[in-house]
Amino acid sequence: VHPVYADLPTTIFEEMSGLARQTGAINLGQGFPDDAGPMALRRKAGEALISGTNQYPPMRGLPALRQAVAAHYARTQGLNLDWEDEIVVTSGATEALAAAFLSLISPGDEVVLFQPLYDAYLPMVKRAGGVPKLVRLAPPHWRFDRAMLEAAFSDRTRMVVLNTPLNPAGVVTPDEDLALLAEFCVRHDAIAVCDEVWEAVVFDGRKHRPLIGYPGMRERTVKIGSAGKMFGMTGWKVGFLCAAPDLTRALAGAHQFLTFTTPPNLQEAVAFGLGEPGDWFEAMPAGLQRSRDRLAAGLRDAGFVVLDSGGTYFLNVDLNASGIDEDDRTFALRAVRDHGVASIPVSAFYAEDPVRHILRLCFAKADETLDEGVARLARAR
Does 373 bind ligand GLN (CB under 6 A)? Our answer is no
H helices within 134-279, ranges in order? 146-152, 175-187, 227-230, 245-258, 264-275
Give me the sheet containing 191-195, strands edge to edge. Answer: 87-90, 239-242, 221-226, 191-195, 157-163, 110-115, 131-136
Q: Between residues 157 and 167, which has the closer beta carbon with respect to ligand PMP?
A: 167
Measured from the CB atom, the residue of 262 and 322 that comes closer to ligand PMP is 262
Closest CA to 76 of 183, 260, 201: 201
Q: Which residues bind ligand PMP (CB under 6 A)?
A: 31, 92-94, 118, 163, 167, 195, 197, 226, 228, 234, 237, 239
Using CB under 6 A, which residues numbered 269 to 328 contact ligand GLN?
A: none
Nearest CA to 185 out of 161, 210, 209 is that of: 161
Among residue numbers 23 through 52, which ones bind ligand GLN (CB under 6 A)?
30-31
Q: What is the secondary structure of 39-54 as a DSSP string?
A: HHHHHHHHHHHHHS--
Q: Which does 228 bind (CB under 5 to 8 A by kind): ligand GLN, ligand PMP, none?
A: ligand PMP
Q: Name the binder of 93 from ligand PMP, ligand GLN, none, CB < 5-8 A by kind.
A: ligand PMP
Query: How far from chain centre, in Å, is Cα 175?
Result: 19
CB nearer to ligand PMP: pick between 234 and 309: 234
Classify 86 as helix, strand or coil: coil
Instruction: State how far the alpha carbon of 340 is from the alpha carbons of 220, 333, 336, in Å.
Output: 46, 10, 5
226 binds, among ligand PMP, ligand GLN, none (CB under 5 to 8 A by kind): ligand PMP
Q: Which residues contact 228 (CB under 8 A, 6 or more apart)?
A: 92, 93, 197, 234, 235, 236, 237, 238, 239
Site for ligand GLN (CB under 6 A): how many residues? 5
Which is nearer to ligand PMP, 19 or 270 (by Cβ)?
270
Q: Which of ligand GLN, ligand PMP, none lies near 358, with the C-beta cut-off 5 to 8 A by kind?
A: none
Residue from 13, 140, 293, 356 binding ligand GLN (CB under 6 A): 13
* Residue 237 binding target from ligand GLN, ligand PMP, none, CB below 5 to 8 Å by type: ligand PMP
Q: What string marks each residue from 163 to 202 as x (binds ligand GLN by CB under 6 A) or -?
A: ----x-----------------------------------
List of residues contacting ligand GLN (CB under 6 A): 11, 13, 30-31, 167
